[in-house]
Amino acid sequence: MITKSQRQASTLKRLRRISHVLDNAIPIPGTKFRFGIDPILGLIPGGGDTVSAFFAAYIVWESAMLGLPKQILMRMFSNILFDTFAGSVPVAGDLFDVAWKANAKNVALLEEYLKLPESNEKPDKWFLFLLLIGLILFVAVVGTISILIVSFFFSLITGNR
């Protein structure tokens, strides 16, 4: 039988790995800076930030299953919203993604919480459901706006209206 602490350790290890790949997997030679696939995915107009947001939502979901309180989940959610919104701005958003590292911030929030004395808080499934639906709607709107902007500029460049 798997204990609660073993399940927490396994989940935390998996979320650290996902966060690392998204935010810190690639070193910039000659510097101490790193970035992940999040800003690379962001180069794909509309869809890239959507994919990144779903990975980020998975981190929040798993954190909620470990019993994080609503206040911390809302901070994690706001990190994702800010990352998705700012990341949707062409070029500047991708540079922002290199620096912001929302996933690393969210895993750090989870690690802080797990260091606290034992808490028996159960995840509020309705709250989490509404939070994720809100995130999906937000990402869909931002993705749609990004695609419309790219389409508009493409039509200006090609002369097709």
Residue range 41-65: average pLDDT?
84
Length of the chain: 161
If DSSP states are collapsed to H, E and C, what string results for 37-88?
HHHHHCCCCCHHHHHHHHHHHHHHHHHHHCCCCHHHHHHHHHHHHHHHHHHC
For residue range 115-155, what is the model confidence (pLDDT) as tens digits? 877 665 667 778 888 888 888 888 788 778 777 877 887 88
For the chain, what are the domain ranges? 4-26+34-158
Q: Is the distance from CB of 114 to CB of 106 less than 8 angstroms?
A: no
How confident is the model at residue 27, as a pLDDT?
93
Residue range 78-97: average pLDDT?
83
| pTM, full prediction | 0.81
Residue identified by tokens 């028996």 is 120
* Longest distance between any two alpha carbons in the chain, whole Å: 65
